[in-house]
Amino acid sequence: MVTTIDNVYSADVSLNAHGADWCRWVIENLERACDPLDMYDRMVEKVWGRTQAIAALDAGMVLTGRNVDWKPSAPVLPQTDLVRITDRDISILARSEAPRAALFDGLLTQIECQELISFAFDRGLKQSGVVDDETGDNIEHQARTSTSVSLKRGETPLIAALEERLSLLTGWPADRAEGLQVLRYQPGQQYKPHFDAFRPDQAGGRRHLERGGQRVATTVIYLSTPIGGGETAFPTSSLKFKPRSGGAVFFHDLDPLGRIEPSSLHAGNPVTEGEKIVATYWQRESVFI
Ligand SMILES: O=C(O)CCC(=O)C(=O)O
């Protein structure tokens, strides 16, 4: 076979995911110095999956000699579904494209869950709050009826080990994260649909952005298994994760281009029986002090 520019490009699996015409479209537009962010939107609007579009643009940027740092960096999950992190095997039981989410198992042992719950309860839980749009203060709101406590990063050896585990699992530095927030939901308690990312168009959101930048990803770590209800639910896709102690759900708060991801809208469904206890871990764009 004669090697032509066309068949070199189309030999790239990611560029060729939707056939030769699309492959050519990507390369030609990159060669014309089009903005890859606009191209991404166009591709996803048509036939491309988000991950596919990113991979094709990444490959195209390399092949056309353009700047490969075209999108913000973000936590990344391992490709394989079983990963050995320090002393344990963590499984990825399920993945989703929209929201870009993954369900982990084996992040904590049952003993570790108990230790974290006891520590948080000893520190004392108070009525949970939400960020006030205008002031950025934490205010009580009927949308969030759990009780909670905010812990410091590395506050105990177990917390430090868990943060290290999450950092290794997602390839994101442990100092680019808030301290864990432990939440307790009793029957009837819930957190109605909301985004975790801060709104840059609101004064309250901007106040939080000054400290460590945007929230880039959330991990909800399940410390108990409620008998009924309490799913972490994503209403735009009808995806629901059932809490199981020791497991966790990870999801990106931003789209691959750093904008608030519409499908990251999520809720903690009302607990109907038993008790749900979680620790929420928010990763930030930059170092959080
Ligand atoms: O409780 C859950 O399942 C979700 C918690 C949550 O939405 C949050 O802390 O932002």
User: What tens digit of pLDDT does each residue of 29-47 get?
Assistant: 999 999 999 999 999 999 9
Q: Quote the pLDDT of residue 50.
A: 85
Co-location of 263 and 220 in the same domain: yes
Pocket probe for ligand 1: among 220, 253, 271, the residue whose CB has the most ligand atoms within 8 Å is 220
CA distances from 234 to 5, 50, 156, 284 (A): 43, 18, 32, 21
Q: For residue 166, what pLDDT band results from cuts at 50, 70 and 90?
A: very high
Q: Does 220 contact ligand 1 (Cβ within 6 A)?
A: yes
Picking from 258, 249, 52, 288, the residue whose alpha carbon sits closest to that of residue 170 is: 249
Amino acid 13: pLDDT: 85
What's 86's domain CATH number? 2.60.120.620
- Whether 99 and 169 share a structural domain: yes
Q: What separation in Å is there between the alpha carbon of 271 and the centre of ligand 1?
A: 12
> How far lies 75's CA from each of 34, 82, 167, 201, in Å?
26, 17, 9, 24
- For ligand 1, whether the C-beta of 196 sits within 6 Å is yes
2 pLDDT band (50/70/90 cuts)? Answer: very low
The ligand 1 atom nearest the CA atom of 267: 7
Which pLDDT score is estimated for 1?
Answer: 44
- 231 and 261, same domain (yes or no): yes
Question: How many domains in the chain?
Answer: 2
Q: Is 278 in the pocket of ligand 1 (CB under 6 A)?
A: yes
Residue 178, in any domain of the structure? yes
The pLDDT tens digits of the residues spanning 224-234 come to 999 999 999 99
Q: Distance, CA 10 to ligand 1 centroid (Å)?
A: 43
The confidence score (pLDDT) of residue 4 equals 52
Average pLDDT over residues 143-150: 97
Better-predicted residue by pLDDT, 244 or 50:
244
User: What residue owns the CA closest to ligand 1's atom 4?
Assistant: 268
107 part of a folded domain: yes
pLDDT for position 12: 76
User: Does the structure show a pLDDT above 50 at 3?
Assistant: no
259-282: per-residue pLDDT in tens?
A: 999 999 999 999 999 999 999 999
Its domain, for residue 190, covers: 82-284
